[in-house]
A = this chain, B = another copy of it.
Amino acid sequence: MNRTTVPPPVTAVIDAAGAWLPLRLGEVERRLTDLGGGYGSLLGEDATTTLRAGGKRLRPLLVLLCAGAGGGEPAIRAATAVELVHMATLVHDDVLDDAPLRRGRPTVAATSGRARATTVGDFLFSRAFALLAGERDHRATALLSDASVALALGELAQRRDAFDMSVGEERYLERCRMKTARLFECACVIGRAASGGQGEDELRAFGGEIGLAFQLLDDILDVSGPPERTGKARGTDLLDGTVTMPLILAARDDASIAATDLRRLDPAAAEQLCERIATTGALDQVRSRALAMVASAKRRLNGPAFDSEQRSLLGLVADGVVERYS
């Protein structure tokens, strides 16, 4: 894996880890990009664009770290499969949002059209399960398919809740757990299961908390911007009708925010709404919660199931989630 192409927090973790980690991350990368080539004329360029576009590779990193230096081949397969499921959801998201770019490159939907992009997503999903099931990674298959069910249910819940200002904190968090945190949890547990180590429960909790923090900080970025940094206009989620935690908390403090009709927002009004949310102090509240989750996640690793290297590397990943915001 070429270090210059690796974004933080992966860089920081690679710097701190032994040689085994970059080697395995590189192998995961190789398998992800080979996947397109392996099906030759059938798959063609449809999938390779996305597969090669990279990304943070946070989930494979978690799989490999939770497996540890002794993880080997099953960990590499699980890391590849988890990222394939993540990519499948991104490809389908881009179809639904008619997104032209992802990570600065054209989306599959933009280059191949909606129809082929939907099928590419289905292919990536199927390939993830075929990869694990074909090698008899039974536990991994069960973990990943359960997480995929949760992802879909979380996405459905979000679409059902769209534009509904009565969505409360609890419902919002339940949705984020399914839509985002479950795949982080899965990455951690599937990695641990691949190496047969102790500490699955702690790692599930660790993954769930940093996944939820990741989502909360993402919601803050949607409100705070700046667009130069996030690559999208402020209030993009709000324009889509997504009621996020900053909005929920701000609406409690400010009756005029609570009375907002999200269906009537235009980009300028969304920008104004972001300003008003920011003045309520809701962003600081959400950030405090996210930081508390990350701190709690790191404490999960104090038990005897983890050595100091794992504690420190996973701690760096947790810090990396926070750094997105700072």
Interface residues of A (CB under 8 A from B): 39, 42-44, 46, 88-89, 92, 95-96, 113-116, 118-123, 125-127, 129-130, 133-134, 136, 138, 141-142, 145-146, 148-149, 151-153, 155-157, 159-160
Question: Within the assembled complex, what's the spacing in Å between the Cα atoms of A133 and B46?
Answer: 29
User: CB distance B125 to A126 under 8 Å?
Assistant: yes
* 4 A-B pairs closest in CB distance: A126-B148, A123-B152, A129-B145, A130-B145
User: CB distance A129 to B156 under 8 Å?
Assistant: no
Q: Which residues does chain B contribute within 8 Å of A96, judged by CB atoms?
A: 114-115, 118
Question: Within the assembled complex, what's the spacing in Å between the Cα atoms of A92 and B91?
Answer: 14
User: CB distance B126 to A149 under 8 Å?
Assistant: yes
Counting chain B CB atoms within 10 Å of each CB, the highest count among A89, A114, A115, A155 belongs to A115
Question: Within the assembled complex, what's the spacing in Å between the Cα atoms of A126 and B148?
Answer: 6
* A187 to B: closest C-beta gap in Å: 16
Question: Within the assembled complex, what's the spacing in Å between the Cα atoms of A77 and B304?
Answer: 40
Given contacts A134-B142, A141-B133, contact A116 B160 (CB under 8 A): yes
User: CB distance A142 to B130 under 8 Å?
Assistant: yes
Copies of this chain in the oligomer? 2
Question: Within the assembled complex, what's the spacing in Å between the Cα atoms of A118 and B94?
Answer: 11
Q: Which listed residue, B95, B134, B151, B160, touches A126 by the CB 8 Å rule?
A: B151
User: CB distance A127 to B141 under 8 Å?
Assistant: no
Given contacts A133-B133, A159-B115, contact A122 B148 (CB under 8 A): yes
User: CB distance A149 to B130 under 8 Å?
Assistant: yes
Nearest-CB residue, chain B, relative to A46: B156
Question: Within the assembled complex, what's the spacing in Å between the Cα atoms of A43 and B150?
Answer: 11
Given contacts A92-B119, A116-B159, A122-B148, contact A43 B153 (CB under 8 A): yes
User: CB distance B153 to A42 under 8 Å?
Assistant: yes
Q: Which residues does chain B contribute within 8 Å of A116, judged by CB atoms?
A: 156, 159-160
User: CB distance B44 to A160 under 8 Å?
Assistant: yes
Question: Within the assembled complex, what's the spacing in Å between the Cα atoms of A39 and B152?
Answer: 12
User: CB distance B136 to A145 under 8 Å?
Assistant: no
User: CB distance A129 to B148 under 8 Å?
Assistant: yes
